[in-house]
């Protein structure tokens, strides 16, 4: 069974803007809980999984929390998902799963009811249900109230897979009348699919699996070292458990590999595939290559997208497309970064220049200092007076929020928005 090590911290940001525009658990509001009970006379070791990713009914993309459960012990927990402050649209899927004796059981699937609402889900783990197929959900909704205002959209603007929602006509018209020269979407015009091909998956070799496992455990060890002594011990326990599970894992899935991509698309022959630990463990369907053309502060690079659904039932052949994208850099083209298509390029470039001069020793958070001191920015998103910088390593990633002053003279640290390790 795939082991996913996941740690997430949501910072409580402070902004002078009228509305927040990034996820923060401080904005959730309401009472959203679930209870777990069982009729088992012996104590059960239960790993509770929570995920708010679309269609993630097995909760692979969520957090994990270990619990001891018995007939005389009922557990109550909060869903505690972060919510998007603005737009307030909250059509997010919520998933609850349980891992018992190395088997995943579906608990509950629903949707974020919105701010200032109530949701109570009751889960009864009957030992007889554990003997049956895991297709059935073990929980049911006891109480739910929905804030309809959190499910209202006036319009949505999309560039490829990136979309921005608007609650009001005023928000939409303000955005649509922005200066196109300064928006990243302007640079992406014409950068669409240029070639298509069918590629067959194959099983990874033992050397490839060993390297994936070693790299992932090494990256997580480095992450653990940044934590406090108490947090570090727990982190190491998760790491060691993950190492044991990966070493014993036999159900590796066929994957699309680098050689297959380069055989299908000659343009990639002499280009380096940017590694992704996560894509090695869970067969993903997009592959990023190093830049091949540099001009001014812009680099061109290829991305291959492959359909997650095979061409035919039970086939290993998937349809793939070669796409050309553009990214930005300041001094070093190899340290390139993407700017969100909806963001203002001029502001994003100003922000990253200021970040390069930022005195990171003034930041109390040790983890934030470590990210800023040892990783370069991968992605920038500008929303109102906030700039979200994304960083990533071989198995870990983070999002760090900064805030502009009123005259854009400098940026100030706001919060570590999230941090994840797989």
Burial annotation 212-227 (CB, 10 A radius, 16+ → b, else e): bbebbbebbebbbebb
pLDDT over 90 (residue 298): no
User: Over 1-59, what HEC string results?
Assistant: CCCCCCCCCCCCCCCCCCCCCCEEHHHCCCEEEEEEEECCCCCEEEEEEEECCCCCCCC
Q: Which of 3-17, 77-91, 314-328, 408-422 has the highest mean pLDDT?
A: 314-328
Q: What is the pLDDT of residues 85-143, one digit of tens each?
A: 554 555 578 999 998 988 889 999 998 887 778 899 999 999 988 888 778 899 999 99
pTM of the model: 0.55
Q: What is the pLDDT of residues 21-74, one digit of tens each?
A: 334 444 445 588 999 999 998 888 898 999 887 778 888 877 788 888 988 888
Estimate the crossing angle of helix 229-248 against helix 206-225, to 10 degrees: 170
Distances (CA, A) of 43 to 39, 70, 106, 185, 203: 10, 5, 20, 55, 39
């Amino acid at each position: 069974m795939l082991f996913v090590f996941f740690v997430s911290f949501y910072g409580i940001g402070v902004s002078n803007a009228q509305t927040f525009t990034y996820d923060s658990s401080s904005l959730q509001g309401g009472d959203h809980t679930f209870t777990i009970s069982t009729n088992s006379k012996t104590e059960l070791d239960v790993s509770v999984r929570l995920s708010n990713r679309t269609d993630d009914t097995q909760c692979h993309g969520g957090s994990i929390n270990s619990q001891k459960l018995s007939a005389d012990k009922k557990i109550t927990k909060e869903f505690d998902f972060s919510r998007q402050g603005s737009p307030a649209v909250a059509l997010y899927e919520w998933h609850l799963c349980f891992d018992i004796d190395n088997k995943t059981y579906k608990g509950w699937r629903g949707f974020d009811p919105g701010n200032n609402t109530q949701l109570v889900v009751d889960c009864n783990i009957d030992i007889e249900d554990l003997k049956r197929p895991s297709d059935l959900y073990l929980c049911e909704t006891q109480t739910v109230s929905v804030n309809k205002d959190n499910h209202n959209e006036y319009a949505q603007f999309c560039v490829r897979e990136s979309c921005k929602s608007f609650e009001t006509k005023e928000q939409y018209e303000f955005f649509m009348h922005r200066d196109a020269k300064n928006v990243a979407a302007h640079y992406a015009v014409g950068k669409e699919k240029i070639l298509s091909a069918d590629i067959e998956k194959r099983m990874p070799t033992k050397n490839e699996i060993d390297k994936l496992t070693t790299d992932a455990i090494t990256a997580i060890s480095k992450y653990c070292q940044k934590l406090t002594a108490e947090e570090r011990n727990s982190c190491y326990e998760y790491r060691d458990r993950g190492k044991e599970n990966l070493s014993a894992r036999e159900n590796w899935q066929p994957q699309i590999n680098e050689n297959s991509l380069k055989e299908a698309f000659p343009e990639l022959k002499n280009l380096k595939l940017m590694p992704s630990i996560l894509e090695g463990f869970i067969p993903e369907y997009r592959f990023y290559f190093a830049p091949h053309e540099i001009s001014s502060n812009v680099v061109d690079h290829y991305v291959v997208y492959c359909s997650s659904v095979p061409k035919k039932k039970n086939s290993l052949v998937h349809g793939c497309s070669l796409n050309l994208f553009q990214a930005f850099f300041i001094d070093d083209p190899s340290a390139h970064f993407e700017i969100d298509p909806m963001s203002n390029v001029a502001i994003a470039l100003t922000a990253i220049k200021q970040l390069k001069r930022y005195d990171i020793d003034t930041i109390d958070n040790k983890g934030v200092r470590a990210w800023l001191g040892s990783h370069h920015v991968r992605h920038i998103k500008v929303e109102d007076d906030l700039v979200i910088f994304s960083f990533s390593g071989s198995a870990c990633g983070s999002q760090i929020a900064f805030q502009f002053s009123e005259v854009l003279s400098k940026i100030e640290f706001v919060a570590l928005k999230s941090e994840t390790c797989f």
